[in-house]
Amino acid sequence: MVQPFLKTILRGISFLRENPQVAYTAFLLVAIPAAFIASGQKFLEVSSLNQERMEKERIGILNDALVILAREKLAEPMSLQPLVEEFREAGNGLVAIRIFLYENGIPVIAASLDRDEIGTYGSRDDDLDFAALRVEDTKIIPTMEQGGERRWKTVRGITTENGTIAGVVVTEVSMAHIDRFVAQNIRGAYLFLSLIIAALVFLLLRQARFIEYGVLYRRLKEIDRMKDDFISMAAHELRTPLSVIRGYLGMISPDRLNAEDREGLTRVNASVENLGSLVNDILDVVRIEEGRITFDKKTADHTPLIGETVSSLEYLAREKKLSLSFAPGPSAPFSADPARLRQVLTNLIGNAIKYTFSGGVTVTTETDGHTMSIRIRDTGIGISAEDQKRLFEKFFRVRSKETEDVRGTGLGLWIAGNIVTKMNGSISVESIRGKGSDFIISFPVISRETS
């Protein structure tokens, strides 16, 4: 019996540890209403204290006025009754006014809101007690009626000019209107609180869904990281067998092979090179994403390097019966890692050849003194404006009839874009679908004085 209970608790604890947001949500669910209740309570307390203070002041003023006026009328006690009646309207909750005068030291009611009491000693014992209190200042005594109604009795002596207390004014004020007001406020506050709690529960329930999303997001990130680790590991592992294959292929002398085998060897070599560049691409992606890519930059006029890269790709153009030319224009020195620049150019010229089926590719350079640009122009299939927007995204490939037989990963431009921008340059494309494309990479010119 105890074991399953313990297990549930332990499972709950480990769930909370993995999902601290749940504990946070539960805390909010309790803390926010508690804070509202506490501050509401404080507010009600202060406001009812305030009400009572104002009420006390009002009663004090009423008594002051009554006592002053009663003192003036002590000579003719008959005129006390009209005075009391004038005060009838004096305020909320005024239940009784009695003026006691001492006859042979005994307090007798000389005027009262209840006319029947006149000439008596008062209908209640405590009246007498009050009347016996010969107080000079207003004294307030809280009492409780049978129905639970709070009342304040006040008593104050009527002091004559020679300092003796000739009588006592006793008033009785009901606190029912204040209590009603407070109760009404409490009801309002609780209604408001219920609305807040309902809104809070609604929001937190919605948040529960976000918590779920949060958990999913974390899992996805974890899986994504595992995938990256796996790809990186696989690419690394592929490098060794690839160099072994390359080594053995290098030992085969084509001269000793017949034409058919030579053709086979060429194909195997090409496939190994493809595989090698794929592995390198993957490793570059991982390096860029992890911020581990490094550059060995050199400030130079890189025109010769551009020419060499173009020459090294001539065989590809020849295979497709395309023209490939390098027409260097004005050039200027800029800072770049030669190996990385060669990699980017190889990719862009390679793409230009890959996606061109007639005509050719021209590589030119231009500079305005501030920027040095290399333009790779082809007369290929071109890229629509819509596709151009996503061209430099990872894995993006244009899906069309013309490209369905062209192999690729969609990584080349993403890598090229990253390398160029990390070397302080920029890459852009100008293209018309069906007419051809221009890929332009630009670098800030570094003048020889500043370099």
Q: CB neighbours (10 Å) of residue 151?
A: 17
Residues that bind ligand ADP (CB under 6 A): 351-352, 355, 378, 380-381, 383, 391, 396-398, 403, 408-414, 437
Nearer to ligand ADP, 285 or 398 (CB): 398
Name the minimum Å distance from CB 428 to ligand ADP: 13
Q: Which of 310, 302, 278, 269 minimizes the C-alpha distance to 425?
A: 302
Give the C-alpha separation, 90 to 218, whole Å.
72
- The contacts of residue 208 (CB under 8 Å, 6+ apart) are 25
Shortest gap between Cβ of 331 and ligand ADP (angstroms)?
A: 23
Residue type, 225: R
**Min separation Cβ 444 and ligand ADP, Å:** 25
Please tell me the distance from the alpha carbon of residue 353 to that of residue 369, in angstroms, as a whole number: 30
Helix residue ranges, H only, 255-337: 259-289, 303-312, 314-319
Q: Which is nearer to ligand ADP, 375 or 397 (CB)?
A: 397
Which residues, at least 6 apart from 159, have a Cβ–Cβ distance to it below 8 Å?
71, 136, 165, 166
Nearest distance from C-beta of residue 436 to ligand ADP, angstroms = 8
- What is the C-alpha separation between 279 and 409, in angstroms, rounded? 11
Q: Could you tell me the smallest distance in angstroms from the CB atom of residue 212 to ligand ADP?
A: 36
Nearest residue (CB) to ligand ADP, 59 versus 398: 398
CA distance 294 to 290: 11
H and E: helices and strands count for the chain: 11, 12
222/402 with CB nearer ligand ADP: 402
CB of 326 to ligand ADP, least distance (A): 16
**Which residue's C-beta sits nearest to ligand ADP?**
408
Toward ligand ADP, which CB reaches closer, 276 or 410?
410
Nearer of residues 169 and 381 to ligand ADP, judged by Cβ: 381
Of 67 and 348, the one with the shorter C-beta distance to ligand ADP is 348
Give me the helices (H) in 122-175, please.
125-132
How far apart, in Å, are the Cα atoms of 67 and each of 136, 160, 278? Answer: 10, 10, 107
In whole angstroms, the minimum distance from the beta carbon of 406 to ligand ADP comes to: 7
